[in-house]
């Protein structure tokens, strides 16, 4: 079964500086497109991301259709979609992610504007009242790295999870993302600070799996049993991959065999320098898109200490021993934490 990430639209009510969705502003998927996808492969789960999906006029029909097929659904939102859905539709979601960059109203609204803090908080309160599990999803970047641990009090207040993605230099706003990229030292210092404060729920960020010696979900998860479908109908192993020749038509024709197409095979490439490394079965060479955007797929992950002739830092972490079932666990490069 395949885990899907679907962006039904590139449109958004915000214009976040680090977002990759701008290139899809003029595209959207229809209910007919979704039916073509669902009739081509066996789907385990779907997360709706990329733009703010409620801005697709057929989104609620799409949600209802997939829900009636007993497919687990999740949604990544800035709060706007949740605030513009009825309770009945919100209850069709297995879990929800609310995107925030900063853990306080002043910092968040200063970064995004548009009362983004208030929208997220209102959406989280609504999900909590309806009993829908939810996470705060954030991007670890230079500008918020010193504030990441401050999310602890917020997730405790709302009894939710924190999901962290590592910033990647996407093409939608390259200059902004270059300014926000993490240095090698800042990346590892941030990771150490995070694990001093939070409990680990799951980690599928490959280079961290090696550091933490996690054996679950060997290698790079993206493109192995998951597909990202963008608003223009392209199929990607990761939203940061760039151009792909694979389309919904290829999914209809080949089904799961699209995972054997050049783009998806390339996402599993192990750099020559990594072959023989004692950690390679854990990290698979590190995040493929990060390598591709950095110096190329055949180069080690820029955050890999072994490629520098160093050892992985000692990171002490506490595991959340409660059973947590979230759709984002183990299908893309991400870290999920609890208090």
Q: Minimum mean pLDDT among 34-38, 111-115, 150-154, 183-187: which range?
A: 111-115
- What are the structural domain ranges in the chain? 2-204+222-268+322-338
CATH classification code of 2-204+222-268+322-338: 3.20.20.70
Relative orientation angle of helices 116-130 and 151-158, to the nearest 10 degrees: 40
The mean pLDDT value for 53-73 works out to 98
Of the pLDDT bands very low, low, confident and very high (cuts 50, 70, 90), residue 17 is confident
Of the pLDDT bands very low, low, confident and very high (cuts 50, 70, 90), residue 25 is confident
Predicted confidence (pLDDT) at residue 309 exceeds the cutoff of 60: yes
The mean pLDDT value for 82-87 works out to 98
Predicted confidence (pLDDT) at residue 136 exceeds the cutoff of 60: yes
Q: Minimum mean pLDDT among 97-111, 174-188, 294-308: which range?
A: 174-188
Instruction: Kindly report the pTM of this predicted structure.
Output: 0.96
Of the pLDDT bands very low, low, confident and very high (cuts 50, 70, 90), residue 175 is low
The rounded percent of the chain whose pLDDT value lies above 90 is: 88
Of the pLDDT bands very low, low, confident and very high (cuts 50, 70, 90), residue 286 is very high
Predicted confidence (pLDDT) at residue 172 exceeds the cutoff of 60: no
* Helix-then-strand count for the chain, H and E: 14, 11
| Strands of the sheet with 2-6, listed across from one edge | 235-236, 226-229, 2-6, 43-48, 72-77, 95-99, 134-140, 161-166, 335-338, 199-203, 318-319
Q: What is the pLDDT of residue 15?
A: 80
Q: How far apart are CA 176 and CA 4, in angstroms?
A: 28
Higher pLDDT, 173 or 35: 35
| Residues β-bridged to residue 203 | 335
Of the pLDDT bands very low, low, confident and very high (cuts 50, 70, 90), residue 173 is low
CA angle 227, 190, 74 (to 5 degrees): 30
| Residues β-bridged to residue 46 | 4, 73
The mean pLDDT value for 103-131 works out to 96
Segment holding 207, helix H or strand E: helix 206-212
Of the pLDDT bands very low, low, confident and very high (cuts 50, 70, 90), residue 174 is low
Predicted confidence (pLDDT) at residue 217 exceeds the cutoff of 70: no
Predicted confidence (pLDDT) at residue 90 exceeds the cutoff of 80: yes
Query: Tens digit of pLDDT for each residue in 227-248?
Result: 999 999 999 999 999 899 999 9
């Amino acid at each position: 079964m395949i885990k899907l990430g679907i962006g039904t639209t590139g449109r958004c009510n915000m214009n976040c500086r680090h977002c990759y969705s701008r290139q899809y502003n003029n595209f959207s998927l229809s209910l007919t497109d979704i039916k073509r996808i669902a009739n081509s492969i066996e789907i385990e789960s779907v997360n709706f991301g990329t733009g703010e999906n409620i801005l697709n006029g057929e989104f609620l029909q799409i949600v209802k259709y997939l829900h009636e097929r007993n497919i687990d659904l999740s949604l990544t939102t800035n709060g706007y979609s949740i605030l513009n859905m009825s309770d009945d539709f919100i209850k069709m979601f297995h879990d929800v992610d609310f995107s925030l960059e900063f853990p306080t109203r002043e910092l968040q609204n200063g970064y995004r504007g548009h009362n983004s803090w208030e929208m997220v908080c209102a959406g989280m309160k609504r999900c909590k009242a309806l009993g829908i599990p939810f996470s705060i999803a954030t991007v670890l970047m230079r500008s918020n790295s010193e504030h990441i641990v401050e999310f602890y009090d917020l997730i405790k207040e709302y009894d939710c999870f924190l999901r962290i993605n590592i910033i990647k230099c996407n093409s939608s706003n390259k200059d902004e993302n270059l300014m926000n990229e993490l240095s090698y030292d800042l990346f590892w210092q941030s990771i150490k600070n995070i694990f001093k404060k939070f409990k680990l729920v799951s980690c599928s960020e490959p280079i961290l799996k090696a550091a933490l010696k996690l054996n679950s979900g060997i290698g790079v998860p993206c493109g192995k049993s998951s597909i990202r479908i963008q608003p223009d109908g392209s199929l990607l192993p990761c939203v940061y991959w760039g151009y792909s020749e694979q389309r919904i038509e290829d999914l209809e024709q080949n089904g799961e065999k699209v995972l054997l197409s050049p783009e998806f095979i390339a996402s599993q490439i192990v750099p020559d320098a990594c072959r023989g490394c004692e950690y390679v079965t854990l990290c698979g060479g590190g995040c493929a898109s990060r390598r591709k955007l950095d110096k190329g797929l055949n180069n080690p992950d820029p955050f890999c200490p072994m490629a520098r002739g160093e050892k992985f830092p000692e990171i002490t972490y506490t595991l959340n021993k409660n059973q947590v079932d979230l759709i984002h666990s183990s299908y893309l490069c991400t870290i999920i934490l609890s208090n």
